[in-house]
Amino acid sequence: MTLFVFLGSLAFGMFIGMPISFAILLAAVALMFQLDIVDSQIIAQNLINGTTSFTLMAVPFFLLAGEVMNVGGLSKRIVRVAMALVGHFRGGLGYVTIIAACLLASLSGSAVADAAALSALLVPMMVAAGHKDGQACGLVAAGGIIGPIIPPSIPFILFGISGGVSISKLFLAGIVPGVLMGTGLALAWWLVSRGDDTIVREKQSASDVVAALKEGIWALFLPAIIIVGLRFGIFTPTEAAVVAAVYSLFVAIVIYRELKPSQIFEVLVAATRSTGVVMFLVAAAMVAAWLIALADLPGEVVSLLKPLMGSRTLLLLAIVVLLFAVGCVMDLTPTILILTPVLLPVAKQAGINEVYFGVIFVVCGSIGLITPPVGTVLNVVAGATRSNMTRVVAGVLPFLASHIIILLLLVIFPQLVTIPGRWFGAF
């Protein structure tokens, strides 16, 4: 009954058009009435305490780094490097998109930021080369969701805070799954585009490739700095976010000189707005998480899933189906904040490693960003390119299938995550 009260009130709040953060608070208040502990101080205290975590400081700094990279020319140079390397193959702009998506993922950690940058830069070029606009937008959207998987990752930060899991280990465990998702996209693009009659770009000379690498080397240094720093314990994820923000500001202002002093205020305002949305969501979710623990909702979920507890694979598949259903109607951030306190204890009780579960959770939730009807990233790409949403949805389907296949492989063969994760020190 308690689980029904929580989910029913949350669904009701979303149905009547409440912002998701207020819908979460509504569900928390409904739980308070159900438990007969109505007290406004509980809400106020948990709202405040929910945003006082030192680890959460990583969120505004990574968001700032993403804004700086888009405005300051780092994203553009990443695309140029990919263009120089693979732009001359048939369908080469698609491979450029995939490589650029993986590289940008290691810089910003935000699917929306990556998709917005790539759609503005590459979709017009792909359409001019002869690719269908829906197909081009679908590939960009599917590439953009690699952002939450390859470190640094804002969703991993939120999962780590919500579940008390090491964020550094989550970051390091996400490297190989992110690369596998990029590889799957490349294969899907080859199958989709091999019959297209498109313009093939001229192969760039060795000197052009070297010039692109020289120009982009400053942007390419950032993921190396972050991964090496985390792997060898030089800095924490929060400190890595500060390093990313300061480094991107330095490169954008001093090296590339594309970020003018007059633009810094606008960049800070944009990052602050995004931070405000995320932080209020986190604060609201912490109220709900406290009440979820008090009401023992994980215990109710365990009883519902008890028939599957003997098989880790079947349990994970059931959770994946649940997350897909939720991802169709809810964004990734609230999905993590609401369901992590409920599902992680279930996974632990079944003997599933918490870091591995975090990777599966975030991969599945990220795929939800390109599934209708909500599909946040789909909407961003369609809006940025002014493309018809129906064509974008049709264009993303082959790449959505690729991501689902990779996810199922990660569920059926956990070694794809755990073995490489041990190399990086994640397990």
If asked whether residues 161 and 21 sit together in one domain, one would say: no
The mean pLDDT value of the chain amounts to: 83
If asked whether residues 32 and 101 sit together in one domain, one would say: no
* pLDDT in the model for residue 87: 67
Contact 139, 399 (CB under 8 A): yes
Cα distances (Å, whole numbers) of residue 137 to 69, 105, 109, 331: 21, 17, 20, 19
* pLDDT in the model for residue 411: 93
Q: Quick one: CA dihedral 166, 168, 169, 173, positive or negative?
A: positive
85-96: b (≥16 Cβ within 10 Å) or e: bbbeeebbbbbb
Q: Is residue 79 part of a domain?
A: yes
* pLDDT in the model for residue 356: 94
Segment 146-175 mean pLDDT: 87
Q: How many domains does the chain have?
A: 2
Distance, in Å, from the CA atom of 94 to the CA atom of 83, rounded to the nearest integer, reads 10
Q: Is residue 48 part of a domain?
A: no
Above 80 in pLDDT, residue 50?
no
Q: Is residue 49 part of a domain?
A: no
**Residue, of 302 and 257, whose pLDDT is higher:** 257
* pLDDT in the model for residue 243: 87
* pLDDT in the model for residue 65: 82
If asked whether residues 188 and 261 sit together in one domain, one would say: yes
Name the phi and psi angles at 236, rounded to 5: -85, 170
* pLDDT in the model for residue 370: 87
The pLDDT tens digits of the residues spanning 92-108 come to 778 888 888 887 776 66
* pLDDT in the model for residue 196: 67
Above 80 in pLDDT, residue 315?
yes
Host domain of residue 130: 55-424
pLDDT band, very low/low/confident/very high, at 374 (cuts 50, 70, 90): low
373 preceded by cis ω (within 30°)? yes
If asked whether residues 419 and 389 sit together in one domain, one would say: yes
Distance, in Å, from the CA atom of 421 to the CA atom of 213, rounded to the nearest integer, reads 29
If asked whether residues 187 and 282 sit together in one domain, one would say: yes
If asked whether residues 93 and 17 sit together in one domain, one would say: no
**Residue, of 86 and 211, whose pLDDT is higher:** 211
The pLDDT tens digits of the residues spanning 278-299 come to 788 788 877 887 887 777 777 7
pLDDT band, very low/low/confident/very high, at 401 (cuts 50, 70, 90): very high
* pLDDT in the model for residue 199: 62
* pLDDT in the model for residue 360: 94
Segment 215-238 mean pLDDT: 81
Q: Is residue 46 part of a domain?
A: no
**Residue, of 5 and 90, whose pLDDT is higher:** 5
If asked whether residues 62 and 30 sit together in one domain, one would say: no
Q: Is residue 63 part of a domain?
A: yes
Segment 389-415 mean pLDDT: 91
> CB within 8 A of 44, min separation 6: which ones?
none
Contact 172, 425 (CB under 8 A): yes
Distance, in Å, from the CA atom of 167 to the CA atom of 153, rounded to the nearest integer, reads 9
Above 90 in pLDDT, residue 381?
no
Distance, in Å, from the CA atom of 237 to the CA atom of 51, rounded to the nearest integer, reads 16
Q: Is residue 47 part of a domain?
A: no
* pLDDT in the model for residue 355: 93
If asked whether residues 67 and 25 sit together in one domain, one would say: no
If asked whether residues 67 and 193 sit together in one domain, one would say: yes
Q: Is residue 50 part of a domain?
A: no
Q: Is residue 43 part of a domain?
A: no
Cα distances (Å, whole numbers) of residue 67 to 74, 90, 264, 273: 10, 32, 10, 11
If asked whether residues 143 and 192 sit together in one domain, one would say: yes
If asked whether residues 18 and 141 sit together in one domain, one would say: no
Distance, in Å, from the CA atom of 228 to the CA atom of 222, rounded to the nearest integer, reads 10
If asked whether residues 272 and 374 sit together in one domain, one would say: yes
Angle at 412 between CA 409 and CA 417, to 5 degrees: 65
* pLDDT in the model for residue 80: 81
Segment 312-333 mean pLDDT: 83
Distance, in Å, from the CA atom of 244 to the CA atom of 241, rounded to the nearest integer, reads 5
Contact 115, 144 (CB under 8 A): yes
pTM above 0.85, yes or no: no
Above 80 in pLDDT, residue 422?
yes
Above 80 in pLDDT, residue 12?
yes
